Every structure is written in structure tokens, then in C-alpha cells.
Amino acid sequence: MKRTILAAAVLAASMAVQAQEPQTALQRVKIGAGLHQIDAQVAVAPDERATGLMWRKEMPQQEGMLFVFEMPSQQCFWMKNTLLPLSAAFIADDGTVVNIVDMKAQTLEPHCSAKPVRYVLEMNQGWFAKRGVKPGFKLAGAPFERR
């Protein structure tokens, strides 16, 4: 019995440590923002979306994470366990930016899409503003092409 409890405790501890590792092995996709190219990790599965960019200590300027949902709905994000300040673009099916929010690291404040969307693209905070990407701007790439 003691061995079972000890084994369970060790397993739980190892899972907790594992959960604090950033995801870096997700599939990637290229997204165009005018003259700028984004190398985005793609979070599709519920656990990938839930972890997102948590625990990342740095991220190159041209990289980000694209969250893909099954169907358009209001999407809300927070920054629990996210160490980097980020900007999130909420994106319609055709790649049109609906709204962009800046999010402060390690906060629980919800940041939501202005209308139902299927995609959310997180980049280092200020990336969109520095490149003139605003609501109404259309991003390009495979996720936004008609099927």
C-alpha cells in the first residue's frame, strides 16, 4: 500500500514538473502579414490550447502561436503561468483580424474576441502595432484559405 501511494506521489510530481515545460514541438504554419512572415506553432488539441505559450521565457520576434478552434465562438484568453507579455489577434475564418488585445504576463484578466472567431494568434506584445496590423487587416496562409 505504501509503495502504491509513493508511486502515485512520484507520478503526480513528475506530471507537475512536466506540465511546467513550454510546448515547443507543435506543428508549425507560415502566416503572412503583409510583407512580414510569421512562423506560428499550431495549437489544435484542447490540451495544446490550454497550455498555449505558458512557461516560455522568450520567443523570437517572428514566432507566435495560432490557436485553432473547431467552430467560431467568442474566445477568451488569460495569462496564467504565461511569463511573456503578449498581444492576441482574434481572427475570422478568412484571415481578417477582428480585434487585437495586449495581455499582461501572469494575470487572470480575461481578454475576449469582439465577435465569434475560430482563430487566435498570439505574438510578443506590440508585434502587431509595430507592423501596422489592425482590425480589418487580412492575414494570409493555409489556415485561412477556403476549403
The pLDDT score that the predictor gives to residue 6 is: 38
Of 79, 77, 66, 45, nearest to 118 by C-alpha is 66
- How many C-beta atoms lie closer than 10 Å to residue 117's C-beta? 23
Give residue 22's pLDDT band: very low, low, confident or very high (50, 70, 90).
confident
pLDDT at 1 over 90: no
Taking the C-alpha atoms of residue 121 and residue 87, their distance in angstroms, rounded to an integer, is 8
Class of the 24-144 domain? mainly beta
pLDDT of residue 23: 86
Specify the length of the chain in residues: 147
pLDDT in tens, 100-145: 999 999 999 999 999 999 999 999 999 999 999 999 999 999 999 9
Whether residue 18 has pLDDT greater than 80? no
Q: What is the pLDDT of residue 19?
A: 55
DSSP 140: B
Predicted TM-score (pTM) of this structure: 0.85
Q: Is the pLDDT of residue 2 over 60?
A: no
* Cβ atoms < 10 Å from Cβ of 39: 12
Q: Do 122 and 68 form a contact (C-beta atoms < 8 A)?
A: no
Which grid cell is 140? 494570409
pLDDT at 146: 72
pLDDT tens-digit series, residues 35-73: 999 999 999 999 999 999 999 999 999 999 999 999 999
Contact between 137 and 97 under an 8 Å Cβ cutoff? The reply is yes
Residue ranges of the domains in the chain? 24-144
